[in-house]
A and B are shown apart, each in its own frame.
Chain A
Amino acid sequence: MTGRARARSRGRARGQETAAPGAVRTPLNLQLNNPLKKIIFPLHAALLQISAAFQQVKLGERSGRRRDFHDAGVNMRQAMEHVKESKCGVTGNPIQLTANFFRILSRPQWVLYQYHVDFKPQMELRRLRSALLFQHEETLGSAWSFNGALLFLPNRLHSKETVVCSETRNGEKVQITITLTNELPPSSPVCIQFYNIIFQRILRILNMQQIGRNYYSPSDPLNIPQHKLTIWPGYTTNILQYESCIMMCTDVSHKVLRSETVLDFMVNLRQQCGSQRFTEICEKELVGLIILTKYNNKTYRIDGIAWDHTPSNTFKRGDADTSFKNYYKSQYGLDITDENQVLLISYVKKMGPAGAPPPGPAMLIPELCYLTGLTDKMRADFSIMKDLSTHTRLTPEQREGRLNRFITNIQRNADAQAELDKWGLSFDKQLLNLAGRVLPVERIYQGSRSYDYNPWAADWAKEMRGLAVMSAPPLNNWLLFHTRRNGNEASSLLQTLSRVSGPLGIAMGKPVMIQYEDHQESLLAALRHSVGPQIEMVVVVLPNNRKDKYDSVKKFLCVDCPTPSQCVVVRTLSRPQALMTIATKIALQMACKMGGELWSVEIPLKQLMIVGIDCYHDTAAGKRSIGALVASLNQSMSRWFSKCVLQHKGQEIMDELKKTLSAALKEYLRFNGCLPSRIIVYRDGVGDGQLHSVVNYEVQQIMDSIKSMGQDYNPKLSVVVVKKRISSRFFAHINGKVSNPPPGTIVDAEVTRPEWYDFYIVSQAVRSGSVSPTHYNVVYDTSGLKPDHMQRLTYKLCHMYYNWQGIIRVPAPCQYAHKLAFLVGQSIHKEPNMKLDDQLFYL
């Protein structure tokens, strides 16, 4: 799970029904056009969810703007004639797998009864309606679910319409009419949402805590005290209609929490960076993080810091003004010790009471908030990540064991079983068994030579040794920058480079060695002074991995003075025994950056252009997104056109990428003398619930862009949504041991979705932990390509990422696009110079 995705999913966490008291400053512009939304006053998370879910179904609102995480309403397969019958491939050896799915079983002829509930007189408060209705538990039975308007029961009431009378606290008589409106079969979308809600109840029964969308058990935490981290083990679960039946997909999840308050964090930070830069650094570090409060079990996203507010500030509570300090003391018995701390701002997505203006942002007290998750800085800290992974990385065997234990716990818990029985539901006791196929090893071509790689390692670094790459431009005019201190390392790097470059077929001349003072400014001055248009490559040996120097080098050489560049942190060069390996990697990387081609695989389609798209969301810089598009220019998929766009506020990323695609097509035309007759777009970076907008908006944009090349230009087009962050896992059983499926494993049945043309590929090999498959969803396809070929082409493309001599998780263009967007988002913050468009300068 990427950080931003995690932040996103948590940012939308449910159960944020009440805003912490907040000075109403800027009313949020929330949509109040939905009549049902107004009347929802959730009592707890599960009910909120039920209401949201049902509301969606009822109103047919499936845009997935906030709620439809499973993209359930998007059905593309029916429009694709060639996969209507079957979307399965045929190539490869069959392999028996298990998957982290459990079937949901219901009684035969099971239906869910949906009732409409009417109150006379009208009752405004949903809570009240709920209370009134359940004065009649003997009529309704113990199993019920009510969202304020709709009532769901597992049993049919005696008559179609039932009228009962209730009484409010004030003695007011209320007449309630309960009318049967629907009988829902087990596979109806409402039922599926309903199963999820029931299941969440069960997780609560098992004493698990909800954080964001998942449930965790805080009673057996794993501590990493050296970094003040606490990890809670938990599970992600979701129940959906899969290819042939309804199943629950469940995976082990770990929640990283920090046992320090935001105030502790701020105090530490101020100590580290000094008061001057504190405000700037603090905002950068904190904004976008998710926090938990001490007094309720809610998560908030930090959207800003109110530097001019302290706990002594007041807010309107009822009619009176109360200070935050007094409020927390009287309401929760919490003492605020630091009077001078500034407050955190969180924009709560919440509806106010009907008629009232929506609530403003919540103001939170740092002392009462705990940080969750990791900051980018922590993510970059090797020792933290290492300590984390020893706790969270599970071998396939451990993972399968935990999943089985989870189901056993549910089966053994009497209360949980009672809840399931009440609704007439049960779960399979075992993981799902299914068949997959393992694609054959691809042959790797380097010029006139070719070789196979070890299928389990999925890596050809060894095989590549001593073989010349396909092509590499000669390197004559280049510069090597180093500090005085690192002179030795720089010259040994140079020596080793010249040793390895010969066998690799890279003609490398002698560089000009340039010394620079260990300051960002002097490095920049040295670059300005020496780098001119004739320079083919700049190598900079950096004394440490501080980001500022790296950023300024990249900014200068990507924007101001377009030149391929290679940065090397001196520590990498410090171990003589690894220098050969490292120099080989560096030489290969340098070659690609100048437009060299390392290897290729057989691509049996002609006049094909592969496009990869990915996004990077810069949470710190005002949530500006960066989109990158990378398109192939030749048959061997070894030359690429890369372009990056910076999204402006309120704009769809595709609006800009559209122009980029046209530019890519023109470049293809220039390169090949013709336009591609087939275009396959791999779209990465699509979040949960965003599929709808890809299908309905982006595909059209892509077609418009193609149309702009000429009226009679009509290439075959496929659009494939690539998803890495999924919870599906597969396990192979080899020689009686649970292990990862081998690279090249394809799954295209059972756990796919009936309404999609989708498949999974396990393309990469992992050395430790469980491998995560990648999900491919062909959302648009006029290519007529057989599913088998679509799968194999996708797998072939996973071999083509030149920064890794092995198979990667996604098709190479997606990884290139990711790299480019990341570089621009992290370091450059500007569009790179177009002179670099034809080179993989960002590797």
Chain B
Amino acid sequence: MDLTFSPPLHKQRHQFVVDFVKRNKPKKVVDLGCGECTLLKMLKFHHEIELLVGVDVNGAKVKKRMHGLAPISTDYLEPSYDQLCVELYQGSVTQKDARFKGFDLVTSIELIEHLTPADVELFSEVVFGYMTPKMVIISTPNSEFNIFMPGVSCYRHSDHKFEWTRAEFRSWAMKVCLDYGYEVEFTGVGKAPQGQQEAVGFCTQIGVFYQLGGRDCCKTLLVNDAEDLFPYTLLYRVNYPSLCDNNILRRVLVSEVLYGAEKLKNRWMEEQADGICDAVALCQTEGGACAEEMKDLMEWSGASDSAEKQGSCTSCRIVAVPLDVLWSCCPKVSVLSGSLGNLKHLLMDEPNIKLSQDSSAVLINHWEQDQEEKEDDCNLDDSGYPEASLHSHSAEQEEDWEEND
């Protein structure tokens, strides 16, 4: 009898964790034995998670895959308010590392069966006694299920040190709960063929542990504080760009302000050119709120310094876009800044933004220029045609390439 699972069992295990995260919304998650970081890659999309950590004894394996956890291009383009920090460590789950205390969720997927019984003891102590997370998910093979797996003689994998029956897993779990103050629910993924689920159980058995009484009773945390150890090696750490970072918020806000101001300016210029009648029509179609305020745009004329420096015929006008118009016309600006006062405050010391003297308007340059100028030589004077130095043909010695062929 051959059983294949769809989707494959390893995917089901990961999906189980993902679904659990969706329901319970932990902020800090660590995956013990993260290996190729597959589970972490799935978890990074869940906005509730702020700290996502992976640890594995095999550092080389992690290193090979860790770049897959880096923010992708678009994360930089439009940062959100979500905060996410990803950290990857090399280390053994039998050792205590102070950085791993205080997590909301610890997952250990198909890990414990690779440990010797002595190490399982250490593991229990490290995870439940030292790290003391609020929730723990532990999965391990159910040896009762092996009868459905024809190729399996002893263990499913040669590196497995043991495979537990449901009863064995249950007794270990109960002991852990008793020792460290947790309660446990048993479940699993990979159902047995019809009618045999009761007798055999899931292919992979899963225990979900919840800390009793929340974090308040973590006496161990206080006791061990004196001897903090950091045996794990940090391999990788990356902070995702987030609007909670003030610098990033500022940068995004400045971009939005300049974009909004440019758009308003262009619309205003167009209306100027086309005459008032058109302007009113345009504003009405695009949202009434702005229509009246548009008239408030002011303008200063005059050649700016930079235009003079260029020595070209460009003239530069300065257009003032009032902040309150911006605030009401650009939803993104208002969302980012929160209030008009805050907007003013945030833009005040911004080097890329010029404000009017009373800080009520953004000043932007308007370049009167057309494309041809780039090609035209503006510094030529057209007063007269200077004689070019002239030569006659005969002076040139004719060459003949044909002969050389």
Contact = CB atoms under 8 A, between A and B. Distances in A.
Interface of A: 44, 137, 142, 167, 169-172, 204-205, 207, 209, 211, 216, 218-219, 221, 223, 225-228, 230, 232, 257-259, 261, 271, 292-297, 318-319, 331-334, 370, 382-383, 386, 443, 445, 448-452, 461-467, 503, 545, 569, 571-572, 575, 577-582, 602, 604-606, 783-786, 789, 793
A785 B404 CA distance: 8
A474 B391 CA distance: 27
B392 A449 contact: yes
A209 B238 CA distance: 14
Nearest to B3: A170
Contact of B256 (A171, A225, A462): A225
Contacts of B156: 169-171
Contact of A171 (B149, B262, B396): B149
A575 B313 contact: yes
B313 A465 contact: no
A577 B314 CA distance: 13
Most-contacted residue by chain A among B158, B251, B385 (CB, 10 A): B385
27 contacts: A44-B68, A167-B159, A170-B152, A171-B155, A171-B157, A225-B255, A225-B257, A225-B259, A226-B262, A257-B77, A259-B255, A292-B73, A297-B72, A462-B380, A462-B386, A462-B388, A465-B386, A466-B388, A503-B385, A571-B372, A579-B382, A581-B376, A581-B380, A604-B398, A605-B401, A606-B402, A789-B401
Contact of A602 (B47, B377, B396): B396
A450 B391 contact: yes
A171 B158 CA distance: 7
B376 A578 contact: yes
A581 B313 contact: no
Report the contact-size class of chain B (Cβ under 8 Å from the partner): 35 or more
B383 to A, nearest CB: 9
A337 to B, nearest CB: 13
Contacts of B405: 783-786
A204 B67 contact: yes
A465 B385 contact: yes
A223 B157 contact: no
B74 A293 contact: yes
Interface stretch (B130-138, B220-228, B363-371): B363-371
Nearest to A317: B7
A527 to B, nearest CB: 24
Contacts of B369: 382-383, 386
Contacts of B67: 204-205
The prevalent SS among residues of B at the interface is loop
Nearest to A677: B402
Contacts of B401: 604-605, 785-786, 789, 793
A571 B376 CA distance: 14
Contacts of A207: 70
A167 B71 CA distance: 34
Contact of B255 (A204, A223, A467, A575): A223
A20 B71 CA distance: 19
Interface in B69-111: 70-74, 76-78
A454 to B, nearest CB: 11
A739 B400 CA distance: 35
Main DSSP-derived SS at the A contact region: mixed
Contact of A223 (B251, B372, B374): B251
A451 B72 contact: no
B46 interface: yes
B391 A582 contact: no
B258 A171 contact: no
A572 B371 CA distance: 9
Interface in B243-281: 251, 254-259, 261-262
B264 to A, nearest CB: 11
Contacts of B262: 225-227
A604 B399 contact: yes
Contacts of A382: 369-371, 374
A808 to B, nearest CB: 13
Contacts of A545: 371
Contact of B76 (A204, A221, A465): A221
B283 to A, nearest CB: 12
A257 B73 contact: yes
Q: Which of B313, B386, B388 has the most CB of A within 10 A?
A: B388
A171 B76 contact: no
Contacts of B286: 271
A232 B149 CA distance: 52
A451 B391 contact: yes
Contacts of B385: 465-466, 503
Given A170-B152, A171-B158, 14 more contacts: A171-B151, A172-B151, A205-B67, A219-B76, A297-B73, A297-B74, A319-B6, A383-B367, A451-B391, A578-B378, A604-B401, A604-B402, A605-B402, A606-B402
A789 B404 contact: yes
Contacts of B392: 448-450
B199 interface: no
Contacts of B254: 223, 225
Q: Which among B256, B377, B402 has the highest number of chain A CB atoms within 10 Å? A: B402
A370 B77 contact: yes
Given A170-B151, A171-B152, A331-B45, A466 B387 contact: yes
A662 B388 CA distance: 42
B389 interface: yes
Nearest to A575: B313
A439 to B, nearest CB: 13
Q: Which of A137, A450, A451, A793 has the most chain B CB atoms inside 10 A of its CB?
A: A450
B382 A580 contact: yes
B348 interface: no
A424 to B, nearest CB: 19
B314 to A, nearest CB: 10
B60 interface: yes
B30 to A, nearest CB: 19
Interface in B270-304: 286
Contacts of A569: 370
A318 B6 contact: yes
B393 interface: yes
B96 to A, nearest CB: 28
B335 interface: no
Contacts of A294: 74
A720 B92 CA distance: 63
B149 A170 contact: yes
A786 B404 contact: yes
Among A169, A205, A582, A786, find the residue whose CB has the most chain B CB atoms closer than 10 A: A169
A90 to B, nearest CB: 11
Nearest to B141: A171
A331 B43 CA distance: 9
Contacts of B6: 318-319
B259 A226 contact: yes
Contacts of A205: 67
Interface in B104-161: 149, 151-152, 155-159
A451 B389 contact: yes
A205 B77 CA distance: 21
B313 A577 contact: yes
A219 B74 CA distance: 12
A786 B400 CA distance: 12
A449 B390 CA distance: 6
A408 to B, nearest CB: 22
A137 B390 CA distance: 77
B317 interface: no
Interface string B301-335: 00000000000010000000000000000000000
